[in-house]
Amino acid sequence: MKKIIYSIAILVIVLSFGCHNGGGNLSISTIDNNTNFKFEAKYNESKTGKLEKYLDSALNNELPLDQNIDLFVNLNGSDKFNLKAKKGWLVIDFDKRNSSLAGFIKVKNLTEGIKRKLTE
């Protein structure tokens, strides 16, 4: 009888620990074709502040990632990308047809930096 009670107690502890550590999930996807570049990241909400600081410094612009945002970010005058974000989720859409190669490279480097920050 004592073994059953100890087994149940251990099971409850293990399950509760697993439920609290489930927030460390990270999902990053990139679609890169001839006309469009799309980057999407789903991450632990606790990393939103770190990501916000990185984007603020990389883009010289303050972006409140803890709010629901959907805006166009101007890179260098003619090149823009659409940024959608909220806590734990970020999407960058870049239209290659109406942009320069330099703008595409800048967005690609930005998304590589985002990946690095989220995997730290």
CATH number of residue 55's parent domain = 3.30.310
- Render pLDDT for 30-88 as a digit per residue (tens, 0 to 9): 999 999 999 999 999 889 889 989 988 888 888 888 889 999 988 877 889 999 999 89
- Is 7 among the domain residues? no
- Is 9 among the domain residues? no
- Is 38 among the domain residues? yes
* Average pLDDT value for residue range 13-33: 69
- Is 56 among the domain residues? yes
Q: pTM value?
A: 0.77
**Residue 38 burial (10 A CB sphere; 0-12, 13-18, 19+):** middle
- Is 99 among the domain residues? yes
Mean pLDDT of the chain: 84
- Is 29 among the domain residues? yes
- Is 15 among the domain residues? no
CA dihedral 42, 45, 46, 47 (to 10 degrees): 30
Query: Beta partners for 37?
Result: 32, 94
- Is 11 among the domain residues? no
Band of pLDDT at residue 4, cut at 50, 70 and 90: low
18 vs 46: CA distance, rounded Å: 17
75 vs 73: CA distance, rounded Å: 6
Nearest Cα to Cα of residue 84 among 54, 39, 53: 39
Band of pLDDT at residue 98, cut at 50, 70 and 90: confident
Range of the domain at 89: 24-119
Count of the separate structural domains present in the chain: 1
